[in-house]
Structure 1
Amino acid sequence: MTLEEKLAQIVGFWEKADGEAVAPLQGEFTHDVGLAEAMRHGLGHLTRVYGTRPVEPVERAQWLWEKQRSLVRDTRLGIPAIVHEECLTGLSAWRAATFPTPLAWGAAFDPDLVAEMGAVIGDSMRVLGVHQGLAPVLDVIRDPRWGRVDECISEDPYVVGTLGTSYVRGLQSMGVHATLKHFVGYSGSQSGRNFAPVHAGPREVEDVLLVPFEMALLDGGARSVMHSYAEIDGVPVAADPALLTGVLRDRWGFDGAVVADYFGVAFLHLLHSVAADLGEAAGLALAAGVDIELPTGDAYLAPLAEAVRAGRVDEALVDRAVLRALEQKEELGLLDATFDDEPPTAVDLDSPEHRKIAARLAEESLVLLANDGTLPLASPARVAVIGPNADRVEALFGCYSFLNHVLAHHPGAEVGIEIQTVADAIATELPGAEIIGARGCAVDDDDRSGFAAATSAAATAEVAVVVVGDHAALFGRGTVGEGCDRDDLELPGVQRELVEAVLATGTPVVLVLLTGRPYAIDWALDRCSAVVQAFFPGEEGAPAIAGVLSGRVNPSGRLPVSMPRSAGAQPYTYLHPQLGGNGDVTNLRTTPALPFGHGLSYTTFARSELQAPAQSPTGSPIEASVRVANTGDRAGEDVVQLYARDVIGSVTRPVAQLVGYQRVRLEPGESVVVSFSVPPARLAFANRDLDRVVEPGELELWVGPSCAERETEARTTLTGPVHRVDVNSERWTSVSVR
């Protein structure tokens, strides 16, 4: 291969127009080269063929097949390109199903359902000739002020790892490569600011931030990894061989492809200032282990070619990356592909199967935070549906949904899929009720002129459903999403004032939060009759919310992230050591308004008889079981949560750590025994030498409705020598129900 042919295999090409700003600092890069010229020596990736603008999928597939045939027939090597797309909440394409955002996956605590979702997303991608998906996001939530919280699954690395691994397995079962992002540390940014420095110590990196990636690679077999934009302790990840080679490849044995986050190689020069120019940035990234530059070849084409020919970058680094790129194409069957077949002439990207999975996941993800008995609604005659998110379809979707990510730049385009607003769904759900609508205010301005109509509607109603929350967008155009960070955790704009004005009417208020992050709403938990949390529940989210209000759906979601009391208490995690909690050494409370794992139901559950051995070897799984009973009068689903605390450690340990969970459905009066097998790796931590170990000593175990309540407890003593956990240790807790 010539140098030009090599470089062509490790870059992408993005056909986009002015104004289609769906990536950070996209306007900093200008490309005069057209696709035909870019394909002259071959091409590594085609970037977002379907996900850049609203295009008819079948027409675009015809275009794609023609371009792939051209690469096969008209280039010397005849190698097709990998096509990659965003797929965080479904394939990012016009008319494709849009599922709940990952924070809702976390609230559902249902790995099997997430795997089903991943499989149907992967099937849609495969049919359209897409080979690689840029998902899942495995960043562990560290600060709810960070805008990208809605893309994340949980503040607990085990929940992130189990659900993220399930998504990987589902997507890859259809022959589409998953891409883990953002490796690593991105969510730990200073003050919750996008692109801010990360000050995580090596133990936090090992015990929290790396864990989900290790699980998804070793347990899930993910075939691609995307580097983080972050710098950790002054070293940009894109230029860090200790992480991208030492951890990924040498320690974990990863043999797939590492791709750049969009423009991340160029950012080594433009934002991090560790490279004097793009050629030096390319050399640093290649040496660290970034194989493929996305979305285009800003650094890996002309600047890298010049640096190689001048002797500033060893061509052997290029060869290493090219071999990995070609190995990935061979694995995907592209080295033998001819594209002589015909592209699809008809596709259904939002089939009844898609809608069914979307509905189930939306229903399971809704968290009932508070309820004085007002819910479920008992056939009200007159309902006021109020708030900026009550009658707005965009409110149901996250930042990386096609609707908010792409269609926002094409205001004249149709949405492309059928979506009910919450107001529409309530009217459908309660056909006998008169529905009175009032917007009240916008999501994020200070206009209070709509308050009078809202309070008037509420005053004449039996109950007021007030739907507030976020608008997801990019780079400051929304209240949550990439580049939409916050310096407080109050509801945006004047939404709190709207809720308080409606409360002042005396009408019972059911507060519905349609958000991409948890907000500090402790003031509402006692004053509102009920509070329902929905984390961007997707295309079937509105019927799911209406179903919870009516009682057709028994809420079963649990908080995947602590509900904060204030922005001043951030960053906070339930995984804090003893000094991170309340105490006499400070006058400020750290306790969140609601704890991790909290969630109410229309029935009641009792957890009892937690059993564990008195002793268990440090190198063996801990076998534990608990009885769970439905003590109420209607069927429901509980998320059984097993927590542990390592009482004494050589370094400080969390006061609570989730080591297993299982969703179970029980009829009234029914009980089951849930058995957990907790492997050593779930209890391992980085000791003073940063070795991952399980130490002998006492371990407290408990099961309860959240991390904060010990409903049934047991103790075990870990015996034997210090056990060092290696990469082959199982991270996936085994669970059985009988």
Structure 2
Amino acid sequence: MTLEEKLAQIVGFWEKGDGEVVAPLQGEFTREQTLDEATRHGLGHITRAYGTRPVDAVERARWLWNLQRRLVRETRLGIPALVHEECLTGLSAWRAATFPTPLAWGASFDPDLVAEMGAAIGGSMRTLGVHQGLAPVLDVIRDPRWGRVDECIAEDPYVVGTIGTSYVRGLQSTGVHATLKHFVGYSGSQSGRNFGPVHAGPREVADVLLVPFEMAVLDGGARSVMSSYTEIDGVPVAADPTLLTGVLRERWGFDGTVVADYFGVAFLHLLHAVAGDLGEAAGLALAAGVDIELPTGDAYLTPLAEAVRAGRVDEALVDRAVLRALRQKDELGLLDATFDDEPPTSVDLDGPEHRRIAARLAEESVVLLSNDGTLPLAGSARVAVIGPNADRAEALFGCYSFLNHVLAHHPEVEVGFESPTVREALAAELPAVELAYERGCAVDDDDRSGFDAAVQAATSAEVAVLVVGDHAGLFGRGTVGEGCDRDDLELPGVQRQLVEAVLATGTPVVLVLLTGRPYAIDWALERCAAVVQAFFPGEEGGTALAGVLSGRVNPSGHLPVSMPRSAGAQPFSYLHPPLGGNGDVTNLASTPALPFGHGLSYTTFVHSELAVHAQVPTDGRIDASVRVTNTGDRAGDDVVQLYARDLVGSVTRPVAQLVGYRRVRLEPGESAVVTFSVPTTRLAFSDRDLVRVVEPGDVDLWVGPSCAERETEGRLTLTGPVHPVGVDAARWTTVSVAG
């Protein structure tokens, strides 16, 4: 291969037009190749063939097949391109199914269902000739002020790891490669600011931030990893061989490809200032272990070629990346592909199976935060539906949904699939109820002119359903999403004032939060009749919420992130050490308004009879069983949560740590015994020498409705010597249920 042919295999080509801004600082790169220029020596990746603008999938597939045939027949090497696409909430394509956002996956605590979703998404991608998906996001939530919280799964690394790995398995079961994002530390940015520096120490990186990636690589077999934009302690990840080679490849044995986050290689020069020009940036990234530059070849084409020929970058680094890129294409069958077959002539990207999974995941992810008995609404005759998100389809979708990510630039184009709003779904759900609707205000401006009409509607109703929250967008065009960070955690705009005005009528208020992050709403929990949280529940989200409000659906979601009391207490995690919580040494409380794992139901569950062995060796498994009983009068799902606390450690340990969970469905009066087999490695941590170990000593275990409540508990002692933990250690808790 010539140098130009090699470089062509480790870059992408992005066909896009002016105004299609769907990546950070996209406009900074003015020199764009034509298609002829980009394919002269072959091509590594085709960037976002379907997800850049609203195009008919069948027509675009025809274009894609023709391009691939051209690469096979008209370039010297005859190697097709690998096609990658965004797929965080479904395939990013016009008319494709849009599922709940990852924060809703976490709220469902249902990894098996997430695997089904991944397989459905992968099936659509494979049909259209897409080979690699840029998902899942495995960043552990550290600060809810960060705009990309809606893309994340949870603040607990084990929940992120189990659910994220399940998505990987589902997607890759269809022959599409998953890409783990964003390796690593991106969510730990200073003050919750996008691209902000990360000040995490090596122990936090190892024991919290790396854990989900380790699970997805070693247990999920993920074939691609995306390097993070961020820097950790002054070293940009995209230029850090300790992480991209030392941890990922040498320690974990990863043999897939590392792709750059969009423009991330160029950012080493433009933003981080650790490289004097793009050629030097390319050399740093290659040496660290970034194999593929996406979305285009701003650094890995002309600047890198010049650096190689000048002797500033060793061509052996190029060869290493090219071999990895070609190995991936071989795995995907591309090296033998001829594209003599015909592209699909029809495709259903939002079929019944997609809708079934989307509906079930939306229903399981709705979290009932509080309820004084006003819900369900079955007995109400007159209901006022109020709020900026009550009748707005966009409110159901996250930042990386096609609707908010791409169609926002094309307002003249129809959405392309059915997505009933909360108002529309409630009208269909409760046909005998008299519904009055008023918007009240917008999501994020100061206009209060709609308050009077909203107050009048609430005054005339028996119950007011007030739907507030976020609008997802990018780079300041939303209240949440990439580049849409917050310096407070109040509801955006004048939404709180709208809620206060409606509360002042005396009509019971059911507050529905359609958001991409948790907000500080302790005041609402105290004064509203009920509060319901939905994290961008997708195309079936309006119907799912209507089902919860009517009582057709018994809510079963649980908080995957603590509900904050104030922005000033951030960053906060339930995984804090003793001095990270409340105490007599400070006058400020850090306790969240609601704890991780909280979620109510229309029935009640009792957890009892937790049984554990008194002693377990440090290299063994902890067997624990608990009885869960539905003590209410209707069927429902409970998420049984097993927590542990290592009472004394050589370094400080969290006051609570989830070590196992299981969703269980029970009929009224029914009981089940849930048995957890927890590898002691779930309690492993990096000791003072940064060696991952399990130490002997006492451990408290408990089961409760959240991390904060010990409904039934026990204690055991880990015995034997300190146990070093290798990469071959068990990482998953196994769970069984017996009636």
TM bucket by the smaller chain? over 0.9
Q: Within 5 Å, which residues of 2 pair with 1:215-364?
A: 215-364=215-364
For 1:687-736, what per-residue CA distance to the aligned partner results, in whole angstroms no more than 9, with x for missing partners? 00001100000000000000000000011100011011110111111110
Q: Report the 3-state secondary structure (helix = DSSP H, G, I; strand = E; otherwise coil) of the residue aligned with 2:454.
A: helix
Paired AA for residue 469 in structure 2:
G
Paired AA for residue 379 in structure 1:
G
Structure 1 gaps of 5+ residues are none
Q: Which residue of 1 aligns with 2:13?
A: 13
Paired AA for residue 244 in structure 2:
L
Contact 1:368 1:532 in 2 (8 A): yes
For 1:464-497, what per-residue CA distance to the aligned partner results, in whole angstroms no more than 9, with x for missing partners? 0000000000000000000000000000000000
Alpha-carbon shift at residue 30 of structure 1 (Å): 1.8
Q: Report the 3-state secondary structure (helix = DSSP H, G, I; strand = E; otherwise coil) of the residue aligned with 2:161.
A: helix
User: Structure 2: how far apart are the matches of 1:698 and 1:206?
Assistant: 23
Q: Which residue of 2 aligns with 1:563?
A: 563
Q: Which residue of 2 aligns with 1:441?
A: 441
Contact 2:619 2:681 in 1 (8 A): no
User: Structure 1: how far apart are the matches of 2:26 and 2:5?
Assistant: 26
Q: Which residue of 2 aligns with 1:76?
A: 76
Q: Does 1:606 align with 2:595?
A: no
Alpha-carbon shift at residue 36 of structure 1 (Å): 1.6
Moved more, 557-566 or 721-730: 721-730
Q: Which residue of 2 aligns with 1:646?
A: 646
User: Structure 1: how far apart are the matches of 2:701 and 2:83?
Assistant: 47
Paired AA for residue 548 in structure 1:
V
Count of residue correspondences: 738
Q: Report the 3-state secondary structure (helix = DSSP H, G, I; strand = E; otherwise coil) of the residue aligned with 1:196.
A: coil
Q: Which residue of 2 aligns with 1:114?
A: 114
Paired AA for residue 304 in structure 1:
L
For 1:379-420, what per-residue CA distance to the aligned partner results, in whole angstroms no more than 9, with x for missing partners? 321110000000000000000000000000011011011110
Q: Which residue of 1 aligns with 2:408?
A: 408
User: Structure 2: how far apart are the matches of 1:504 and 1:200?
Assistant: 45
Q: Report the 3-state secondary structure (helix = DSSP H, G, I; strand = E; otherwise coil) of the residue aligned with 1:154.
A: coil
Q: Within 5 Å, which residues of 2 pair with 1:185-224?
A: 185-224=185-224
Q: Within 5 Å, which residues of 2 pair with 1:669-708?
A: 669-708=669-708
Q: Which residue of 2 aligns with 1:128?
A: 128
User: Structure 2: how far apart are the matches of 1:496 and 1:673?
Assistant: 43
Alpha-carbon shift at residue 378 of structure 1 (Å): 2.6
Contact 1:283 1:313 in 2 (8 A): yes
User: Structure 2: how far apart are the matches of 1:55 and 1:459?
Assistant: 47
Paired AA for residue 647 in structure 1:
L
User: Structure 2: how far apart are the matches of 1:135 and 1:499?
Assistant: 36
TM-score of the superposed pair, with normalisation by structure 2: 1.00
Q: Report the 3-state secondary structure (helix = DSSP H, G, I; strand = E; otherwise coil) of the residue aligned with 1:77.
A: coil
User: Structure 2: how far apart are the matches of 1:618 and 1:658?
Assistant: 18
Q: Which residue of 2 aligns with 1:736?
A: 736
User: Structure 1: how far apart are the matches of 2:322 and 2:30?
Assistant: 25
For 1:578-604, what per-residue CA distance to the aligned partner results, in whole angstroms no more than 9, with x for missing partners? 001111000000100000000000000
Paired AA for residue 80 in structure 2:
P
Q: Report the 3-state secondary structure (helix = DSSP H, G, I; strand = E; otherwise coil) of the residue aligned with 1:489.
A: coil
Q: Within 5 Å, which residues of 2 pair with 1:312-711?
A: 312-711=312-711
User: Structure 2: how far apart are the matches of 1:268 and 1:681?
Assistant: 37
Moved more, 728-737 or 286-295: 728-737
User: Structure 1: how far apart are the matches of 2:379 and 2:592?
Assistant: 35
Query: Sequence identity, in percent?
Result: 85
Contact 2:445 2:493 in 1 (8 A): yes
For 1:329-361, what per-residue CA distance to the aligned partner results, in whole angstroms no more than 9, with x for missing partners? 000000000000000000000000000000000
Contact 1:91 1:124 in 2 (8 A): yes
Q: Within 5 Å, which residues of 2 pair with 1:49-198?
A: 49-198=49-198
For 1:361-389, what per-residue CA distance to the aligned partner results, in whole angstroms no more than 9, with x for missing partners? 00000000000000011332111000000
Contact 1:680 1:729 in 2 (8 A): no
For 1:221-245, what per-residue CA distance to the aligned partner results, in whole angstroms no more than 9, with x for missing partners? 0000000000000000000000000
Paired AA for residue 55 in structure 1:
V
Structure 2 gaps of 5+ residues are none
Alpha-carbon shift at residue 31 of structure 1 (Å): 3.0
User: Structure 2: how far apart are the matches of 1:147 and 1:681?
Assistant: 33
User: Structure 2: how far apart are the matches of 1:116 and 1:724?
Assistant: 36
Paired AA for residue 25 in structure 2:
L
User: Structure 2: how far apart are the matches of 1:25 and 1:598?
Assistant: 39
User: Structure 1: how far apart are the matches of 2:393 and 2:521?
Assistant: 23
User: Structure 2: how far apart are the matches of 1:201 and 1:33?
Assistant: 41
For 1:642-685, what per-residue CA distance to the aligned partner results, in whole angstroms no more than 9, with x for missing partners? 00000000000000000000000000011011011111221100
Paired AA for residue 116 in structure 1:
E
Contact 2:13 2:297 in 1 (8 A): yes
Paired AA for residue 113 in structure 1:
L
Alpha-carbon shift at residue 33 of structure 1 (Å): 2.0
Contact 2:610 2:627 in 1 (8 A): yes
Alpha-carbon shift at residue 32 of structure 1 (Å): 3.9
Contact 1:183 1:225 in 2 (8 A): yes
Contact 1:605 1:630 in 2 (8 A): yes
Q: Report the 3-state secondary structure (helix = DSSP H, G, I; strand = E; otherwise coil) of the residue aligned with 2:265.
A: helix
Paired AA for residue 476 in structure 2:
G
User: Structure 2: how far apart are the matches of 1:32 and 1:319?
Assistant: 25
Cα RMSD for the two superposed structures: 0.4
Contact 1:84 1:133 in 2 (8 A): yes
Alpha-carbon shift at residue 634 of structure 1 (Å): 0.4
Q: Structure 1 stretches (4+) deviating beyond 4 angstroms?
A: none
For 1:590-647, what per-residue CA distance to the aligned partner results, in whole angstroms no more than 9, with x for missing partners? 1000000000000000100111100000001111111101011000000000000000
Q: Report the 3-state secondary structure (helix = DSSP H, G, I; strand = E; otherwise coil) of the residue aligned with 2:196.
A: coil
Q: Report the 3-state secondary structure (helix = DSSP H, G, I; strand = E; otherwise coil) of the residue aligned with 1:148.
A: helix
User: Structure 2: how far apart are the matches of 1:337 and 1:613?
Assistant: 56
Q: Report the 3-state secondary structure (helix = DSSP H, G, I; strand = E; otherwise coil) of the residue aligned with 2:27.
A: helix
Q: Report the 3-state secondary structure (helix = DSSP H, G, I; strand = E; otherwise coil) of the residue aligned with 1:18.
A: coil
User: Structure 1: how far apart are the matches of 2:696 and 2:32?
Assistant: 63
Alpha-carbon shift at residue 94 of structure 1 (Å): 0.2
For 1:65-112, what per-residue CA distance to the aligned partner results, in whole angstroms no more than 9, with x for missing partners? 000000000000000000000000000000000000000000000000
Contact 1:379 1:430 in 2 (8 A): no
Paired AA for residue 725 in structure 1:
V
Q: Report the 3-state secondary structure (helix = DSSP H, G, I; strand = E; otherwise coil) of the residue aligned with 1:589.
A: coil
User: Structure 2: how far apart are the matches of 1:87 and 1:551?
Assistant: 32
User: Structure 2: how far apart are the matches of 1:724 and 1:486?
Assistant: 41
User: Structure 2: how far apart are the matches of 1:574 and 1:644?
Assistant: 12
